[in-house]
Amino acid sequence: MGTQNFLWNVAKKYFTFGIIGLTISDRYASILPVRGSSMSPTFNPHGGSLTDDYVLVEKLCLEKYKFSLGDVVVFRSPSDYKEKHIKRITALPGDWIRTPHSNDILTIPEGHCWVVGDNSASSLDSRSFGPIPLGLVQGRATHIVWPPQRMGKLDRKIELEGLGF
Amino acid sequence: MGKWKTLAKAAIELAAIVAKFICLYHVTDSYLFSPTIVSGPSMLPTLNMTGDVILAEYVSHRLGKVGPGDVVLVRSPENPRKTISKRIVGMEGDTVTYLVDPNFSLRSRTIMVPKGHVWIQGDNMYASKDSRHYGPIPYGLILGKVFCR
């Protein structure tokens, strides 16, 4: 009878902490690992190293969905809702963009954005699946928290090549 | 001195209980179910134009168990801050035939829904802005399934 009570108490504590953790991670910020080298050298500069980078992703931006050029965002993949990707926004609704390898001009429709990985050579991004609706964005990465030698705030920078007019 | 200590302790306990309730509310509201008010003419006659209270559950779409015929709540692809309710007509891989603009002509188009997307249409085709205008939407925009009115 004593152990049952004890186990019940432990379960209750875990449940409470779980719910609190879930709420904080949904509404405020969470820490996520970055896999792959599509964002080198910003994340995982030596692709294939033993540890992944961890970033702090803040969710406060999801109230207003107001992003700026150069923000690094986490979004659900449009071709598979279970996967999450992390890329940089290079164009906002209403901007014009020149698609590489073809001379088309593309307008970003209302409510969408254009995301590109920093390592354009090996990055699956808007150049393959087109502009993504802002509703798919799950958060904005603001800081690298691991490894310690690269801990710090992320800059908003964009490659000038490939931008529209 | 002892009085302040007990007061502080009671205040902290109260704050902890309030915090736990807020978190419980958030988890239920996002992961289980919650009532919502929907309004607009695009889902007549299923849903009222001037506002209906519906219960939406947030479990099935995470398990991938929404399908054609379900009324779902989705985040609008044109404005992520707006939530709209429509019916799923086709899932990925289905071919959908639809009337492009039933107010003006009987022209219809057939399209195949790409991977990871769904085709949504309002029940009231004459006054509904849906996939016939902005194309198939990614499955990730679905917020929940409506199961009760």
Give pLDDT tens digits for B43-81.
888 887 777 888 888 888 888 888 888 889 999 988 888
* A17 vs B: CB within 8 A: no
- pLDDT in the model for residue B125: 84
- pLDDT in the model for residue A87: 92
Domain boundaries, chain A: 31-163
Contact indicator for B17, B9 with CB cutoff of 8 Å = no
pLDDT at A52 over 80: no
Q: How far apart are CA A36 and CA A94, in angstroms?
A: 30
The domain A31-163 having CATH identifier 2.10.109.10: the answer here is yes
Q: How far apart are CA A63 and CA A27, in angstroms?
A: 9
Average pLDDT, chain B: 86
Residues of A acting as catalytic residues: 38, 87
Are the beta carbons of A23 and B117 separated by less than 8 Å? no
Closest residue of B to A27, CA-based?
B26
- pLDDT in the model for residue A159: 61
Nearest to A135 among B75, B114, B117 (CB): B75
Among A43-52, A80-89, A105-114, which is the least confidently predicted range?
A: A43-52
Closest residue of B to A79, CA-based?
B116
pLDDT at A165 over 50: no
**Average pLDDT of A34-48?**
79
* B21 vs A: CB within 8 A: no
- pLDDT in the model for residue A73: 92
**How many CB atoms lie under 10 A from the CB of residue A98?**
14
pLDDT at A164 over 50: no
- pLDDT in the model for residue A74: 92
